[in-house]
Amino acid sequence: MRKIAIYPGTFDPITNGHIDIIERGCKIFEKVIVAVAKATNKECFFTLDERIHLANISIKHINNAEVEGFDGLAVNFVKSKKSSIMIRGFRAVSDFEYELQIAHANRTLCEDIETIFLTPKNKYLYLSSSLVKQIARLGGSIKEYVPDAVQDAIKNKMQKK
């Protein structure tokens, strides 16, 4: 039986690379819940509510995906959704050590949860939310990297600062 999978992250902001991973996950699982993390070790550009809103707009074309915010450990959110599968995006070799560390920590916290790694299309291999924000801060075009609503939200937020 295909199951529900959880794709946790900060999604600050959601990028076309994230959306590609969500679309790939939705081909494998009955449902993918995009779990937007409240508490992170990073200072977020967008608030939790803004990140949830932008993710919802960005994946509205995907019938078997939904967005929820969460606070605390991702493994606890996965268990609360009666799931045992966590999706993580894997871009380049530079992600390997970090993602492996997180997967092992999650397995230690809850041995019943499996982490599935998905890779995006080649054109998104080096795309990250941090890169998008840096390009935008320096006045570059982010059109190829994020949905229009995200591009507009970044522009509006930067104009207010």
91 is catalytic: yes
Which pLDDT score is estimated for 5?
98
**Which of 24, 31, 81, 91 is flagged as catalytic?**
91
94 in catalytic set = no
Q: Which tokens belong to 58?
A: 């960005």
**Residue 104 among the catalytic residues:** no
Q: Which of 58-67, 68-77, 122-131 has the lowest mean pLDDT?
A: 122-131
* Residue in 83, 128, 129, 133 annotated catalytic: 129
Per annotation, catalytic residue among 18, 51, 88, 133: 18
The pLDDT of 41-70, averaged and rounded, is 95
Q: Specify the pLDDT at position 2.
A: 64
Question: Which helix (H) or strand (E) element contains residue 88?
Answer: strand 85-89
SS3 state at 138: coil
| pTM as predicted | 0.94
Top-level class of domain 4-160: alpha beta
CA angle 147, 132, 60 (to 5 degrees): 20
When pLDDT is cut at 50, 70 and 90, the band that residue 52 belongs to is very high
